[in-house]
Structure 1
Amino acid sequence: MAKKKTTEEMSFLDHLEELRWHLIRSTLAILIIGSAAFAFSKIIFDKIIFAPTRMDFPTYKFFCSIATYFGFDSDFCAESLPFTIQSRTMAGQFSADIWTSVWAGFIIAFPYVLYEIWKFISPGLYEKERKNSRGFIIIASFLFFLGVLFGYYVVAPLSINFLGTYSISDVVTNEFDIGSYISTLRASVIACGIIFELPIIIYFLTKIGLVTPAILKKYRKIALVVVLILSAIITPPDVASQIVVAIPIIFLYQISIYISGYVLRKEAKREAKLKKKAASK
C-alpha cells in the first residue's frame, strides 16, 4: 500500500484533492442527518419551528412575567400572536420541509464539519500548536450551539413577536408565507451561531497576524455602536430587548481581546525560547 504523502510533499493539486474529500465527507454527514430530520419533520415543525408562534413559548412567558412584575402592559402577555402562516405555492411546504431538514443536518453535524476542517488544516501546524489546539472542536462546537440556543430562545422570538404584532392599519392583516417565517427563524439561529464563534475567529486571525489586542481595543467603541445597531434591527424597538441581545455579543468581543492578547504572549514566549536556543549554540 502506498504511503500517504506528507504535507511538505503535497502539491497544490494534492491539497485540492484532499480538501475535496473533506468537503464530500462533510456534505454526506449533513445529508445523512438531514434525511433523519426529514423523517421526523412533523415533530421538528410542530415542536421546534412553530413553537415561537405560540404564547406559551418560554421566552414570552419570561418577558411577560417581568412586565407583570413592574406593572407594565406587554404584547408578550397576549393570548395569541395576531398572524397566520400560509403556503401560497404548490411546492411551498415540500420545499420548506427539504431545506429545513438540510439546515437541521448542518446544525447537528456542525462538530463533524469542524472535525473535517481541522483534519485539513492541522497538518500545516507545528506539533506544539496541534497539542495546544486539541480542544478546538469542543470549544467551537460549544460556542456554536450556545449561539444557536441564544438565537432560538432570544433573538428569534423577539423578532417574531415584534414583526407579528406590528401593524400600520387595521385594514391590513398579517398572513406570512411559510418561507418568510422560516427564513426569519433560520437567519436568527444561524447568524447567532456564527457570531458566537467570534473568539475562535479572533484566535486564528491573531495567529496569522491580522488582528492584535491593540486593534480590537482601538475599534471597541465602533464595534459597540455596530452591535447596538444590529440589536435595534433584529429586536423590538425597546431598550430592554436591545440590551438583552447586545450584552452577550459585547461580552464575546471582550473575551476575544483577552484571547488575542494570550495568543501574542504565547507567540512572544515561543520566539524568545527559539532565540535563546539559537544564542546558546
Structure 2
Amino acid sequence: MSEIEQPTQPLVEHLIELRRRLMWIAAVMLLCFFGLMPFAQKLYTFVAQPLMATLPANTSMIATDVIAPFFVPVKVTLMAAFLLTLPHTLYQVWAFVAPALYQNEKRLVMPLVFSSVVLFFGGMAFAYFLVFPVVFKFLAGVTPLGVSMATDIDKYLSFVLGMFVAFGTTFEVPVVVVLLNRMGVVSVTQLKAVRPYVIVGAFVVAAVITPPDVISQVLLAVPLILLYEAGLWFCRFVKPVQLRQEAETAAD
C-alpha cells in the first residue's frame, strides 16, 4: 500500500500548495474589491471620462438595462481590484513555480514579470489617455445629423475593457521577442529579417482589434512596431540558452 501511495504524494503536495496560492490570490482580490466598493461610482466616472468629454452638450450616456446602473460600476470595481492586486497575484504564481526553476531562470523570470506588468499597465494608460480621446472625438465628429450619440453604459464598458486588454496585451511584444530569442527559437538576425512582415502584421492586427477608423489603427500599429524594435534592442543583453550552454562548456 505504501509503495502505491508514495509516488502520488508529491502530486498531492503540489495540489495543496496550488490551492493555498489560489486562495491567497482570491482573498486579497476580494478584500481589495470590497475596499473599493464605496468608490464604485467614482471609478466608473473616471473610466467614462474620455467619452463624456466628447459628448455633445445636453447629452449623456444611457442605461438600457434595469440593473446596469448597479452592475456596471461593480464590474469596473472588480477590474480595478484585479489590476491593483496583479503584482500580488504574479508573486503567488512566482512563489509556486520558483522551486522548479534553475538559478539562472529565476534571475530572468523576475525582470520579465516586472516588465510584463509595467508594459500591460502602459498599454492601458496609452489607450485611456491618448487613443480614447482621439477616437471618441473622431466618432463624435462623424455622427450623422439627427442622431444622438447616447451610448449605453454596459456596451461602453465592454468596449473599454476590450481595448484595455488589446492594448495591454500588444504592449507585451518586447517580452515575447526577448523570450523567443532567449529560448533559442529565433535569433536576432532572423528577427531583423522578418521586420517587413512585422510592420504589415502590426497594421493587420490593429485593423482587427480596433474600431474601423484609420486613426485608432495607426495609434496601435505604430507603437507595436516601436515595441518590436525595443525587443530587438533588449535582445542584445540576453544571451540565448544554446549560446550560454556552449560558453559554459568551453569554460569548463
* Range class of TM-score, shorter chain: 0.7 to 0.9
| Structure 1, gaps ≥5 residues long | 1-8, 56-77
CA distance, structure 2, for counterparts of residue 181 and residue 119 of structure 1 = 37
Does residue 159 (structure 1) correspond to residue 135 (structure 2)? The answer is yes
Q: What does residue range 138-217 of structure 1 map to in structure 2 within 5 Å?
A: 138-167=114-143, 169-217=144-192
| Aligned pairs, number | 245
TM-score, normalized by length of structure 2?
Answer: 0.80
CA distance, structure 2, for counterparts of residue 205 and residue 86 of structure 1 = 46
Contact 1:22 1:120 in 2 (8 A): yes
Larger mean Cα displacement after TM superposition, 212-221 or 21-30: 212-221
Q: Go from structure 1 to structure 2 and tell me whether the alpha carbon gap of 1:184 and 1:79 turns closer, same or farther (over 3 Å shift).
A: closer
CA distance, structure 1, for counterparts of residue 57 and residue 160 of structure 2 = 16
- The C-alpha deviation readout for 1:170-228, integer Å capped at 9, x for no partner, is 34433321111111122222322222222223334444444443453343323212322
- The C-alpha deviation readout for 1:96-137, integer Å capped at 9, x for no partner, is 122111111111112112212222222222113323444344
TM-score, normalized by length of structure 1?
Answer: 0.73
Q: Go from structure 1 to structure 2 and tell me whether the alpha carbon gap of 1:136 and 1:10 turns closer, same or farther (over 3 Å shift).
A: farther
* Counterpart in the other structure of 2:68: 92
Contact 2:43 2:76 in 1 (8 A): no
Contact 2:40 2:74 in 1 (8 A): no
Return the structure number with greater helix share: 2
Secondary structure of 2:114's match? helix
Secondary structure of 2:150's match? strand
Give the AA of the match of 1:27.
A
Does residue 44 (structure 1) correspond to residue 19 (structure 2)? The answer is no
Secondary structure of 2:238's match? helix
Q: Over aligned residues, Cα RMSD in angstroms? A: 3.1
Give the AA of the match of 1:39.
P
Q: Go from structure 1 to structure 2 and tell me whether the alpha carbon gap of 1:261 and 1:12 turns closer, same or farther (over 3 Å shift).
A: farther
CA distance, structure 1, for counterparts of residue 170 and residue 232 of structure 2 = 15
CA distance, structure 2, for counterparts of residue 274 and residue 13 of structure 1 = 38
CA distance, structure 2, for counterparts of residue 29 and residue 89 of structure 1 = 31
Q: Go from structure 1 to structure 2 and tell me whether the alpha carbon gap of 1:232 and 1:194 turns closer, same or farther (over 3 Å shift).
A: closer
Give the AA of the match of 2:40.
S
Contact 2:119 2:168 in 1 (8 A): yes
Q: What does residue range 53-132 of structure 1 map to in structure 2 within 5 Å?
A: 53-55=51-53, 80=56, 84-132=60-108
CA distance, structure 1, for counterparts of residue 201 and residue 162 of structure 2 = 18
- The C-alpha deviation readout for 1:34-89, integer Å capped at 9, x for no partner, is 2222221122122x11211243xxxxxxxxxxxxxxxxxxxxxx784796311111
Does residue 25 (structure 1) correspond to residue 1 (structure 2)? The answer is no
| Structure 2, gaps ≥5 residues long | 1-7
Q: Go from structure 1 to structure 2 and tell me whether the alpha carbon gap of 1:273 and 1:194 turns closer, same or farther (over 3 Å shift).
A: same
Give the AA of the match of 1:200.
V
